[in-house]
Amino acid sequence: MSNDVNERLIKLEMDVLAANDKVAAENRKEFVEDKILALNLVSSPGSGKTTLLCKTIEEIKNRIPLAVIEGDQQTINDAERIRATGAPAIQINTGENCHLEAQMIKDACAKLHPEDNSILFIENVGNLVCPASFDLGEECKVVVLSVTEGEDKPLKYPYMFSASKVMILTKIDLLPYLNFDVEKCKEYAKRVNPEIEIFEVSSTTGEGMESWINWLDNKRKNLVG
């Protein structure tokens, strides 16, 4: 590939990201003004992200207004699972795109109308690469990693873990049956991002959920004031 082609591709990528960042800034401004805690949940496919989200909703839905934007390449299955909890949800099918973009969030919010002083959960497409580069206007990214995956994921996908403020290690009830080194995984995550907060949870047994819910409560209180 010639240098001219490389330069055009780089410019195109920069233009796309710049346009996305402009809309993301608009989203962030609206979220801040309406005191909406917007969280961008990212992970590999099969990490248990939707199950964690359903469990989280069950824990807080009676005392905190919330809404969910579901991102997937195809199907509406995840949005239906979320709606079954009683939470309002809208599905975005990205087709061939492997990530959500800020304009998609802006359009979804115009239909979903998340309440003031609420939490907006954005469940991104299952992918630890592309979503790291696309700001949606969220307060922070929350990367979900399952113990059924390798503990070296933070080193393999450093951009995602460095872009995330929180890592949730899921399916810890399966640890007795797996060869997964929790402390090594946490060490790798801290190596990539020394400031990352880490929670170990089981959506099945509820273990560790209290710490995650407390973090949500405190984050929302700080935002609402």
pLDDT at residue 225 in the model: 73
Q: What is the CB neighbour count within 10 angstroms for residue 193?
A: 19
Q: How many independent structural domains does the chain possess?
A: 1
pLDDT at residue 5 in the model: 46
CA-wise closest residue to 123 among 153, 158, 87? 87
CATH number for position 151: 3.40.50.300
pLDDT at 160 over 70: yes
Residue 186 domain boundaries: 3-224
The answer to pTM > 0.95 is: no
Mean pLDDT of 22-26: 97
**Residue-wise pLDDT tens digits, 108-128:** 999 999 999 999 999 999 899
pLDDT at residue 4 in the model: 56
**Residue-wise pLDDT tens digits, 173-213:** 999 999 999 999 999 999 999 999 999 999 999 999 999 99
